[in-house]
Amino acid sequence: MQQPTFFEGPEKKIELVVAPGGGPKLRSLGDEVWSRVVELARAQILSVIRDAHCDAYLLSESSLFVYDDHLTMITCGRTRLVDAALHLVELVGARHVALLVYQRKNEHFPEQQPSTFYEDAERLHAVVPGRALRFGDEHDHHVHVFHGTRPYVAEPSDTTLEILMHGLRPEAAAQFIGIEPPNGSTIAERTGISKILPGFAIDEHAFTPAGYSMNALRDGTYYTIHVTPEELGSYVSFETNADVGGQVDAVVARALEVFRPTSFDVVTFAPMGTPEEEVRPEGFVVRDRVAASFGGYDVAFWHFSAPREGVRAPIELAL
């Protein structure tokens, strides 16, 4: 029998690019500014790793990657990422915002969120005029995306891959519940996570009693994984800005092997005109596919699920 406690894994995310000549380099703002930004979202910085290009903050609820001229911030739980986004726009100055993308994955428990996507989009629209889109059905997996409509040209290698996985099989979820402290090897090595994209510096955190977060960094390229293993809403997100053009299918296959979800979504951002990726995960069927071009990117959404056989028992919620 399940206790009706839960943790909301599905994330909110912002991407913000500062226009050339638009104020100070973001990394020069210093940790105090980033602590404040993270606090506004109702999260905290747990740790940071840095390289020549990127400061990668591991948060109590997900991650923040700061570059000199752009940043990616991802938060889960009941965080208020839109408050951080509005503060960032003010910090940078709305006229210097070259690109703003705000995304929300469909939540497991949307009634527990402090705001709806639409409310968030209206607040962002007031400072950075833009559009609000839904990729996928309202009664099925979907992502909502707000994007500013200022013209923007993405760099050729500026891609993003998100793999958003639901309903982990129990043996995969169990690896992230009551995690023992690493002994010689990292949790990423022990679970196979470090093989999804090899050769990265890894910053990881195990949560008590359950849960796992990690940032990986190599030459300004990141990947990040956040695991909510609890049965009442198990979920894992994988995201990378590595240029995996032509290899999306292979990276997806490696992530599926570690986390063994029963359904998942893939979201890709690629510079406009990039050849389309084929994603054909073995043992899954396509349930939806949505595509659009905006903000200099071709954006694609796929929703996959494994066919289910036989009859299950219901989940009982403890009263």
Burial class (CB in 10 A: 0-12, 13-18, 19+), 178: exposed
Compute the least distance from the CB of residue 132 to a second copy, in Å: 4
Out of 69, 70, 109, 243, the only residue in the binding site for a second copy (CB under 8 A) is 109
Q: Give yes or no: 8 in active site.
A: yes
Size of the site for a second copy (CB under 8 A): 54
Q: Give yes or no: 70 in active site.
A: no
Nearer to a second copy, 83 or 230 (CB): 230
Choose the catalytic residue: 141, 144, 147, 226: 226
* Residue numbers 194-233 binding a second copy by CB under 8 A: 232-233
Choose the catalytic residue: 15, 54, 60, 76: 76
115 to 154: interface string for a second copy, x by CB under 8 A = -x-x--xx--x----xxxxxx-xxxxx---x---------
Nearer to a second copy, 133 or 172 (CB): 133
Compute the least distance from the CB of residue 133 to a second copy, in Å: 4
Q: Does 311 bind a second copy (CB under 8 A)?
A: yes
- What is the amino acid identity at position 207? F
Q: Does 313 bind a second copy (CB under 8 A)?
A: yes
Residue length of the chain = 319
Asked whether 146 and 131 are in contact (CB, 8 A), the reply is yes
**Widest pairwise Cα distance in the chain:** 60
Q: Which residues, in sequence order, are CB contacts of 245 under 8 Å at separation 6+?
A: 159, 270, 274, 275, 277
The HSE-up count of residue 76 (CA atoms within 13 Å, CB side) is 29
Q: Give yes or no: 47 in active site.
A: no
Nearer to a second copy, 202 or 252 (CB): 252
Choose the catalytic residue: 11, 204, 239, 277: 11
Compute the least distance from the CB of residue 183 to a second copy, in Å: 34
Q: Does 249 bind a second copy (CB under 8 A)?
A: no
One DSSP character per residue, 165-181 reads EEEE-HHHHHTTBSPPP
* CA gap 194, 178 in Å, rounded: 20
* Residue numbers 280-299 binding a second copy by CB under 8 A: 285-292
Nearer to a second copy, 111 or 282 (CB): 111
Q: Which residues, in sequence order, are CB contacts of 93 under 8 Å at separation 6+?
A: 22, 23
Nearest of 184, 183, 188, 191 to residue 199 by alpha carbon: 188
Give the position of tokens 């991650």.
Answer: 63
What are the backbone angles phi and psi of residue 210, rounded to the nearest 5°?
Answer: -155, 155
Choose the catalytic residue: 60, 63, 213, 234: 213
Q: Does 94 bind a second copy (CB under 8 A)?
A: no
243: DSSP letter: -
Compute the least distance from the CB of residue 65 to a second copy, in Å: 25
What are the backbone angles phi and psi of residue 155, rounded to the nearest 5°?
Answer: -65, 150
CA distances, 278 to each of 129, 249, 265, 289, 291 (Å)? 33, 7, 14, 12, 13
Which of these segments, 74-82, 102-110, 217-225, 247-255, binds a second copy (CB under 8 A)?
Answer: 102-110
Nearer to a second copy, 282 or 309 (CB): 309
What are the backbone angles phi and psi of residue 297, rounded to the nearest 5°?
Answer: -120, 150
Catalytic residues: 8, 11, 62, 76, 213, 226
Residues found near a second copy in the complex (CB under 8 A): 4, 106, 108-111, 113, 116, 118, 121-122, 125, 130-135, 137-141, 145, 166-167, 232-233, 235, 262-263, 285-292, 300-301, 305, 307-308, 310-319
